[in-house]
Each structure stands twice: as C-alpha cells, then as structure tokens.
Amino acid sequence: MSGARRGGAVPRPSPSEVAAWRARMPRAFAPAPARRALRWALGGAFLAWLAWALWQFGFTPQRLWNGLSGLTTILRLMVPPSPGEQWAEILRGLGESLAMAFLGTLLAAVIALPLGALGARNVLTVGLLRFSLRRVFDGMRGIDQLVWALAYVRAVGLGPLAGVLAIASADVAVLAKIYAEAIENADRRQVEGIAAVGGGRLAQLRFGLLPQVAPVILAQALYFFESNVRSAAILGVVGAGGIGLQIAERIRVRYWDEVAFIILLLILTVAAIDALSARLRRRLIGGPGAARA
C-alpha cells in the first residue's frame, strides 16, 4: 500500500506508460509468439480434420437436402398420431419398459454403491486392489448397453429379463465410477469429526461419509432411471422386451401414425418421471436440515 501515486480515480495511462508496461510485462498484452503460432496451427489442423471427416462421410448439401425431404414425408405420415387397434399391447409394452428400467437401475445402484466405496481412494487404501477394481469398471464401461442386451438375449432368451440384466450390467460400472468420485470428493473434516469421537471405520462411513454422498447417490440413480426408460425403447428392438418391440414392428410396416403415438406416450412418461424425481429429490435432499441419510 506504500508508495501510492496521488491523483485521479484511475489515471488514464499515456501512450508512453502503455509502452512501458508492454515492455515490462509483454505477456499481459498478448500471448508469446510461439504460443500464438501453435494456437493458429492447432486451430487450422482441427478445421482441416473436420472438413476431411465431413467429406469422408459424404456430408454434401445435396444428401442432407434429400434426407430432409425424406424426413418430412415421415413426419407427414405421423400426423395425426393414432393408437391403432392395439392399445393394450402398447400400454403393456410401456409398463414393461418402465419395470425393466426401474429394476435394472435399482440393481445397478445397489451393486454400484459398495463397489464405488471400494474404488474410492479414501475408503480402500490398498492400492493394487483399488487399481484392479477401477480397471474392471473401465472395461465394463467400454461395452454398450445394446451389446449387453444382444448377449443376454442369447443367454437367457427373448424378453424383459434380458433387458433388466443389460441395463444393470451397463450401468453398474458407470454408477460405481460416479459414486467413487463423489466419495473421494467428500469433505475429510466431517469424517474426522466422527473419528474424533471414537467412531470406528464403519461408523465413520455411515455418519461421516454417507450423509455427504447420499444426495449424489440418489440424484444419479434417478437420472439413470429416467435415461433408462428412454433406452428401454431401443432394447426392445433387439428383442429384450418392452415398448421398443412395438415401435420396431410398426416401423417395419410403416405405421408411422402409430409410431408417433408411442413416441408421444414415451415423451409424456419421461416428463412425468422427471417431474416425480424432481419432487423426490427436493423432499429427500432438500436444503440444509431437510436431508437425513
């Protein structure tokens, strides 16, 4: 604070002062020349790569235009949406999808919680075990839900069971990773508080850690449930039960109005789940004082 210059609010620097500052701290005015050159080079390389990729995939305005007109034909056929003759079938499929998503997510979350805890640095201190567990998560994450579904359809046969198992298998690893990270980011001091009262290892987890990560656990599980209702529509296409089968059949025979009806139904269902889970989150997580884990 010493050596302050007297004078107006912030004196407007004269050109010579600007030049003096530029000489003293050139990096405050512009990045280093080498850095700027690198930026331009990287930017140019990215644009070239993008152009090449678009060209490789045949992104021509012609094809996009044709595709658009094909899409409008389908959209025209979708209006007005109609339930067709098989109301009961559609509702059954929707119910099945909901059940698959719910069971699959629940199963995944229940398995992911202990796995996530084991994968967290601050819980499992045995490095090698944790490392191998993390790599198993990575491996499982590399396999998409659809691939799991195809495998389970062969293994346990057509139907919703394959769907439930596919959803659970695909989500366990992702949820475990998210839970492990939430646990690692938890505040140490709160756990230390439990240790300081003489609490054991499990008591520390239960009272120091769980209340901190419970909101993440619940919020992620609810989000995965909602997302799985949407993907349950795809699983049906490969024979893993649910509404997807109904959609696939109708697309095959070009009953676009009925497809549109099912899509609208799905949108409504997802919106309802979203609203419900938002209420649930508010109730269970809420503000300070509202949560009790």
What does the binding site for another protein look like in residue numbers (CB under 8 A)? 1, 4-13, 17-18, 21-22, 25, 27-29
Which of residues 43 and 67 has its CB atom nearest to another protein in the complex? 43
Which of residues 27 and 292 has its CB atom nearest to another protein in the complex? 27
Distances (CA, A) of 277 to 218, 281, 284: 10, 6, 10
CB of 40 to another protein, least distance (A): 16
CB of 291 to another protein, least distance (A): 21
CB of 30 to another protein, least distance (A): 9
Give the C-alpha separation, 202 to 169, whole Å: 28
CB of 177 to another protein, least distance (A): 25
123 touches 204 (CB < 8 A): no
Q: Which two structure tokens, joined as six digits, stand for 64?
A: 């996009």
Exposure of 166 by Cβ count < 10 A (0-12 exposed, 13-18 middle, 19+ buried)? Answer: buried
Distances (CA, A) of 120 to 77, 80, 107, 128, 210: 52, 52, 20, 12, 13
CB of 13 to another protein, least distance (A): 4
Q: Which two structure tokens, joined as six digits, stand for 170?
A: 């695909």
Which of residues 12 and 76 has its CB atom nearest to another protein in the complex? 12
Which of residues 10 and 34 has its CB atom nearest to another protein in the complex? 10
187 touches 212 (CB < 8 A): yes
Give the C-alpha separation, 269 to 101, whole Å: 12
CB of 212 to another protein, least distance (A): 22
